[in-house]
Structure 1
Amino acid sequence: MTERRHPRLSLRWRVAAAFGLGSFLLSSVLAMATWNLSSGYLLRQREQSAVRQAEVNARVIDEELRRGGQGLDELLTGLTTGPDSTILLYRPDELRSSGRQIDLAVLPQRLIGLARSGIPARQRLVVDDIPVIAVTLPITSGGIGYLELSPTLQLDRTFRFLSAVLIAGTVVSGLLGVALGAWAARRALRPLTELTAVAHRIAGGDLKSRMPERADPDLAPLARTFNATADELEQRALRDARFASDVSHDLRSPLTTMLNAAEVLRRRRAEIPGTAGRATDLLTSEVDMFSRVVVDLLDISRSDQQSDERSLEPVDLAGLVRNVLATRSDAVSPEVQVDSSAPLVHADRRRLDRVVNNLLDNAERHAGGTVRVAVLRRDGQVRLEVDERGPGVPAELRERIFERFARGTQAGSRGADSGSGLGLALVAEHVRRHGGRAWVQDRPGGGARFVVEVPEATR
């Protein structure tokens, strides 16, 4: 059972998310502290104001009662501070009220009991959907209880506005934290992005790519170390290519002599009987294979050098394929399929010629020949397909066969048809030099299909 892997955020977005979360948490703490302090302060101020107002009203009523209380009703009407305020006087034999009329049943019984008994108290409650502060006080004249309901609508609106501002500020702070984190991460990771781009170019064959020099004391050592490593890699690649080229060139003269001698032996083969004849066959086949290895090594040493832009030209790939097939002496000519409009590629003709020949040679040596060769156009790419007759290439070998000196299932074998192990490596190298890629896949109906794609030339 395969483990299911969940996609992870990139480092840049993880940094941005961390900034955003930190900013959100900090803003939340500050918002909660601001809410608790401000709401508590405003509420205490409103309660104190309601208590002071109730105390003043209670004294005024007490003085009126001491004078006889004839103008009590008019006084109560004048003491109400607004349409939503209510004043209740609990006398032993009656209940007088002024202001907004309410149903006494909605008031807490404990509060009514405190008011009747003249015990000072205060309480926040909601009466008929209006928030109020209830204040109970004693009136000394006549054993009267006083209850005043002061509305807090303005305070509640202030609380709602304050909470909305704090919530919006917290959300905005979190978003700004994400934006700041993304900006900071982009700037902090810019050297890493440049390093990745330079490393990608070097992996693609551009060994002269380097990181720019940095004045930053933290980044300068990284740039110097990377550039020194790239210099060493370039020098080593050049030494290896020069070594292969020098060895191959030095072998050309003795190889020419050996080839001529082998050709003489091949013509006189009928005159060499028995064991000497079999040794002659073995010698000539080994000389032929040695010749192919030397030629391939020379081509590899050239491919390790940078491409000469002057050798690039518009090439009709379909025409090139037909010319290659016409010059070959294969037993069976393959089917050729070409799109109606001949696609052009901006390429080195010699390298493309070698790509086509190597693919056909590979099919001839290892798969019994080529069934079909196609030149197609696919989304701005020119596609070359070579279908083989053989059983196909196992999935585990489809990448290895494009490596140097890889012979697939014939690794370790020797013979005239075993190949040098460099043919497909040269195909991959030449195609990569043209900005394309090469791979192998299953052919419909069985066998292998070698595919090459290179960018189409702009006319």
Structure 2
Amino acid sequence: MVRRLPLRARVMVAFSLVSLLAAGTLALATWHLSTGYMLGQRERSAVRQATGNARLVESVMRRDSGGLDELMTGLGAEVESAVLLVDDGVRISGGNMVDPTRLPTGFLDMVRAGTPAHQRTVVDGVPVMAVGLPLLDQAATYVEVSPMRELDRTFRFLSWILLGGTVASGLAGALLGRWATLHALRPLRRLTDTAAVAAAGDLSARLPPTRDPDLIPFTTAFNGTAERLQQRVARDTQFAGDVSHELRSPLTTMLNAMAILQRRSDELPASTREAVDLLDTDLRRFRRMVDDLLEISRGDQDTDRSTFELVDLATLVLATAEQHGSVPAGALEIAGRPWVLADRRRLERVLANLLDNAARHGKGLVRLGVLAVDGHARIEVDDAGPGVAAESREQVFERFARGSPAHRDTSDSGAGLGLALVVQHVRLHDGRAWVEARPGGGARFVVELPEVSE
């Protein structure tokens, strides 16, 4: 599968190609026009000069006054070219020696046939302009060869200038495309950042107001959607909190009644005792779910950090583990004593939920670690369970996620809200929570918090 270029790269390539096309077209047009004009001028100048010189040579030959050799030498020196006169097979040269056989045969044959001609060619590696004129009255042929070194150097210089300009135009197009994308995609980056903040739990995030008429509808629609979502979540949270609160009174009554039945279970028939035990298990699970729902609803609404204080994480973990009573000997590992700014009650709840999860779903705790890593404080909880599949490592932190039925404890009284509470409390502390594979098998649940100085 071919990987598609990012939008920014595609825009840069498009700008660069358009610039190259425009600059290349202009360079080609400039090259053809300028070289054609200069060559035309050079050819006309060479033809005029050769015509004048040929008339002078013809005049001397007509008078037969002698001095033809001196004239040819002078003409060759004057025009810095080579001149050649062929008269009845006798060759008289001036300036640089030119062998007529080095000139194109067709050109010489045309001149000998009585047709004036001029042609650009190369003699001994030097670009030249050859002009041949028949001297009809004298039955002779006059050839003048003019070097074009300066014109050739001019053409080379012009070609490099045009090529460099074309390449520079392509680079400038790429830079212009990058600048355009940076400015054009700025609202998209702002939207992405705002959406990321909202996805992290801050539903109050909004796009800043703008005066750009093209962005006003976009900004208004996004902010309106975010506002409605925040209101909807607030209503749902309030509803869950109200329902949970209202359920506590009848639930308390049922639990008290169940306690009475449990105390008098010896007086009940065996079948009735079994039903009472099942009902007691479900009531305890129901109570835990109601308590968790109340905690979640309070956490969704409460972002107050006034209860935060400096906490010795190692001491808190030790105390919580001792209260929980499910940490086997040798499972505790303290590597450093990091301090964090935290709500002690919430952190205790986080650790308790992780320990409960290891006991219920992970076949028991095998390691509880406290570490300081790269400016962060970590709590690591390792269990002896089957581990969590890579595709399910985010789902386990969702509300009411209870894991695979094949690995679930049948006596579990949870409702799948414990890990959701862990994530909620950790986010309030600007931290992260995730699960990874434990070396040697099982799962490792990690809580990472910003470390602060004591």
Q: TM (normalized to structure 2)?
A: 0.94
SS at match of 2:55: helix
Q: Does 1:265 align with 2:261?
A: yes
Are residues 41 and 458 of structure 1, via their aligned partners in 2, closer, same or farther at CA, if it must alter by over 3 Å?
farther
CA distance in 2, matches of 1:117, 1:81: 28
Kindly indicate whether residue 95 of structure 2 is the aligned counterpart of residue 99 of structure 1: yes
- Whether contact under 8 Å (1:289, 1:416) holds in the other structure is no
> For residue 434 of structure 2, what is the aligned residue in structure 1?
439
Residue from 365, 370, 380 that aligns with 2:365: 370
CA distance in 1, matches of 2:409, 2:55: 121
Q: CA deviation at 1:73?
A: 1.6
Q: Does 1:31 align with 2:27?
A: yes
Q: Give the aligned length.
A: 454
- Native 8 Å contact 2:361 2:407 kept in 1: no
Instruction: Determine which of 274, 283, 293 is the counterpart of 1:297.
Output: 293
Tell me if 1:219 matches 2:215. yes
Q: Matched residue of 2:452: which SS? A: coil
Letter in 1 for 2:81: S
Partner of 1:231: 227
Q: What is the one-letter code of the residue matched to 2:62?
A: R
What is aligned with 1:180? 176
Residues of 2 paired with 1:253 and 1:93: CA distance? 133
Question: For residue 205 of structure 1, what is the aligned residue in structure 2?
Answer: 201
Tell me the amino acid that sits aligned with residue 8 of structure 1: R
2:182 partner SS: helix
- Show CA shifts across 1:374-412 (max 9, x none): 112333332221111223234443332211111112399
Please state how far the C-alpha of 1:435 moved relative to its aligned partner. Answer: 2.8
Structure 1 residues 295 and 336 mapped into 2: Cα distance closer, same or farther (>3 Å)?
Answer: same
- Partner of 2:11, secondary structure, is helix
CA deviation vs aligned residue, 1:135-156 (integer Å, no higher than 9, x gap)? 0001234211000001111111
Q: Distance in 2 between matches of 1:169 and 1:387?
A: 65
CA contact (8 A) 1:16 1:180 kept: yes
For 1:380 and 1:82, the matched residues in 2 are separated by 87
Q: Write the deviation string for residues 96-145 of structure 1: whole angstroms up to 9, x where unpaired.
A: 00011234442222233334444311111111111101000012342110
Identity of aligned residues (%): 53
Matched with 2:353 is 358
Q: What are the equivalent positions in structure 2 for 1:38-437 lying under 5 Å apart?
A: 38-80=34-76, 84-330=80-326, 332-333=328-329, 335-339=331-335, 341-410=336-405, 416-437=411-432
Specify the code of the residue in structure 2 equivalent to 1:34. T
**1:113 match: secondary structure:** helix
- The 1:172–1:82 alpha-carbon spacing in structure 2 relative to 1, beyond 3 Å, is farther
Q: 1:418 to 1:249 in 2, by over 3 A?
A: closer
Structure 1 contact 118–144 (Cα < 8 Å) conserved: no
Listed one character per residue, the Cα deviations across residues 56-76 of structure 1 (whole Å, up to 9, x for unaligned) are 000111111122241212211
CA distance in 2, matches of 1:111, 1:158: 26
Q: Name the SS for the 2:404 alignment partner.
A: helix
Across the aligned residues of Structure 1 and Structure 2, the Cα RMSD in angstroms comes to 2.2
Indicate conservation of the 8 Å contact 1:365/1:418, yes or no.
no
| Long gaps (5+) in structure 1 | none
Q: Distance in 2 between the 1:179 and 1:368 partners?
A: 59
Instruction: Give, in whole Å, the separation in 2 of the partners of 1:394 and 1:198.
Output: 31
1:356–1:164 CA distance, 2 compared to 1 (3 A):
same
Letter in 2 for 1:110: G
State the Cα deviation string for residues 182-210 of structure 1 (Å, max 9, x = none). 11122111111111111111111111111
CA distance in 1, matches of 2:110, 2:194: 83
SS in 1 for 2:448: strand
Contact 2:115–2:134 (8 Å) recurs in 1: yes
TM-score (norm 1): 0.93
Task: Name the amino acid aligned to 2:224.
Answer: A
Where 2:372 maps in the other structure, the secondary structure is strand
**CA separation in 2, counterparts of 1:250 and 1:269?**
29
* Matched-pair contact (CA < 8 Å) for 2:209–2:219: yes
